[in-house]
Structure 1
């Protein structure tokens, strides 16, 4: 890894821990033969992101990639060239990898500006079933956001929308939901 042309990033790269990273999307495919990659953004305003370095999750570790050039598209994607990824074979190894940026590189937001992605780490409770667990992931799909929770050793997914969310307590990092009857049974009985 070369640090010569970006020495200010050396400390970020050495000390990067998963809890200091923010998920922004994933690599969908290669483009051409020279290492170009397409990144699909699950972050709702990619044009506001500082994208000089991104991290790919590879074998459970966050591996840094310096961005040489990129062009954002109108369909929540961007075409990227990374330093040292100069051939389709090197690029192919990154397809389907999750991409993160350091938390300190996220754009500033107003205190009132809350996104569903902010619920990662919140403890979720169902109005009927009680405490379910901690939200480990929030994914954005074309129609809705979906949260992931580990409940009774099973991965449970449920939609995040105004019909199901009863209360969000940002101070205590808790979320109260009213899940549809039978949803948990679908996961527990498989």
Structure 2
């Protein structure tokens, strides 16, 4: 069986003397971390290795304390700093709430009937959420807020939007 994986963040530093690490993640604020048992770290490009979690807890809205099995001191933890952290797609869906914007990664964005492509990343800000897309090889940040969002269709994995006139042209011209 082939799995789909999602990059959820990066190990940014060690913490303490017993091998704990701090992960900066983009799973959103409403994530249940206590039941996450396994993560994947990128060893080389396109090579993910599984690691079992000994302990995991929230540090803030976008950071976690992470202790992996077999990493028991500060020196061992330091070898993992700046590594990308991955989870199986179905695990991400399981541990994030359905209304959490992180589930939109992979959803199609449709602006007034025009398919703009899939959401590549979700960036949460205090008053709005930005979805990163790629249109004609250019990065585009699309705001998702009360004025732009018409409907979220979880069955077809589609965000139906009405974007302000000229927004896309700013990125594409």
TM-score range, shorter chain: 0.7 to 0.9
Q: Is the 8 A contact 1:47 1:72 kept in 2?
A: no
**Contiguous gaps of at least 5 residues in structure 1:** 1-14
Q: Offset at 1:164?
A: 1.0
> Is residue 35 from structure 1 mapped to residue 19 from structure 2 by the alignment?
yes
Task: Tell me, yes or no, if the aligned pair for 1:53 and 1:65 is still in contact at 8 Å.
Answer: yes
**Deviation of 1:166 (Å):** 1.7
Q: Deviations over 1:15-43 (max 9, x none)?
A: 563x2x35544323222455321123433
- Structure number with greater CO (CA < 8 Å, separation at least 6) is 2
Q: Which residue of 1 aligns with 2:58?
A: 72
Q: Does residue 128 of structure 2 align to residue 167 of structure 1?
A: no
Aligned-partner SS, 1:85: coil
Between structures 1 and 2, the one with greater helix share: 1
- 1:158 and 1:75 map into 2 onto residues whose CA distance is 22
What is the rounded CA distance, in whole Å, between the counterparts of 2:126 and 2:68 in structure 1? 28
Are the structure 2 counterparts of residues 92 and 137 from structure 1 closer, same or farther at C-alpha, using a change threshold of 3 Å? Answer: same
Is residue 151 of structure 2 the alignment partner of residue 157 of structure 1? no
Taking structure 2 as the reference length, the TM-score comes to: 0.74
Aligned pair partner of 2:49 in 46, 52, 63:
63
Q: State the match for 2:161 in structure 1.
A: 177
Structure 1: how far apart are the matches of 2:108 and 2:142? 14
Distance 1:68 1:169, change over 3 A: closer
What CA RMSD, in Å, does the superposition of the two structures yield over aligned residues? 3.1
